[in-house]
Amino acid sequence: MKTLHLCVLVRCIPRHRVCLSNSSDCAQYECVGRPAACDRNTMEPACDTDGLVHRSLCRLQQAGKTLAYMGHCQEACKKTKKVCGHNGETYNTVCEAFSDRVAVDYEGPCRAVGSLSDMSLDSVCSEVSCPPISTLGCHPIIPPGSCCPICASMLQILWSQKQMNTFSKLNRNQPVAVHDVLQILRLHISVPQCDVFGYLSIDNRLVVLVAPVDIQPTPLQ
């Protein structure tokens, strides 16, 4: 009697995460089996490199496509146009940065890190071309480590790794990442024209930005 072995192909994609807990492994990738039964209750859209949206990352993997970014496909992000996020990472498109819950500092690859305080000016940022602030009534801020001003509200959170480890253990040893905290904070923002972004600054603070996502936000936003 012959034994039939079924081979399930597993595809892994990069998943950049900045973990606040250190009690468990902080994997920088995510693997999905193909072919495999996708969870029908999972509704997290994923956009592939062909500009097609899928119901979930699992569905995208089943179709044999390559992930561009999480979320619905946006017309403005069909072509690669590199941008530098406030976290110092270079993204292929604005949509890719936004899906990582990171707002954009300036266009092009990252090449400079700004000062951590408004009191000191960083000459390195003089080589960066900042996008114009076109919103009337805006009082722009420059987030820590950034070069360019942005229309947003900002708060900086001091966090405890001990508490993050405790939360991780209560959640079946799942790591606690910056992205997870931002996703929870999004639930408290009820204005659809604004969204929550953030990153871990050089001085180890969790910087949270509430910024308008409309092309031309109103003074109230």
pLDDT score at 216: 66
Cα of first residue to Cα of last residue in the chain, in angstroms, is 70
* pLDDT tens digits, 92-119: 999 999 999 999 999 999 988 777 655 4
**Lowest model confidence (mean pLDDT) among 53-57, 108-112, 186-190:** 186-190
pLDDT score at 5: 46
Q: Which residues contact 1 (CB under 8 A, 6 or more apart)?
A: none
Residue 136, judged by CB atoms within 10 A of its CB (0-12, 13-18, 19+), counts as: exposed
**Lowest model confidence (mean pLDDT) among 3-17, 67-81, 120-134, 188-202:** 3-17
pLDDT score at 140: 92
> Mean pLDDT in the chain?
86
Residue 210: is its pLDDT beyond 90? yes
pLDDT score at 64: 86
> For residue 85, is it left (φ>0), alpha (ψ between -120 and 50) or beta?
beta
User: Which pTM does this prediction carry?
Assistant: 0.84
Q: What is the mean pLDDT of residues 141-152?
A: 93
pLDDT score at 6: 45
Cβ atoms of residues 94 and 78 within 8 Å: no
pLDDT score at 61: 86
Phi, psi of 75 (to 5 degrees): -60, -35
pLDDT score at 35: 59
- Tell the residue number behind the tokens 């990472």, with chain if given: 89
Q: What is the mean pLDDT of residues 74-81?
A: 92
Residue 50: is its pLDDT beyond 90? yes
Tell how strand 53-54 and strand 46-48 pair up: antiparallel
Q: What is the mean pLDDT of residues 170-179?
A: 93
- Distance CA(24)–CA(41), nearest Å, equals 27
Phi, psi of 150 (to 5 degrees): -140, 145
pLDDT score at 221: 58
pLDDT class of 125 with cuts at 50, 70, 90 = confident
From 89, 196, 95, 86, select the one nearest 143 (Cα to Cα). Answer: 86
Q: 215 or 182: which carries more pLDDT confidence?
A: 182
Residue 134, judged by CB atoms within 10 A of its CB (0-12, 13-18, 19+), counts as: exposed
Tell how strand 9-14 and strand 29-34 pair up: antiparallel
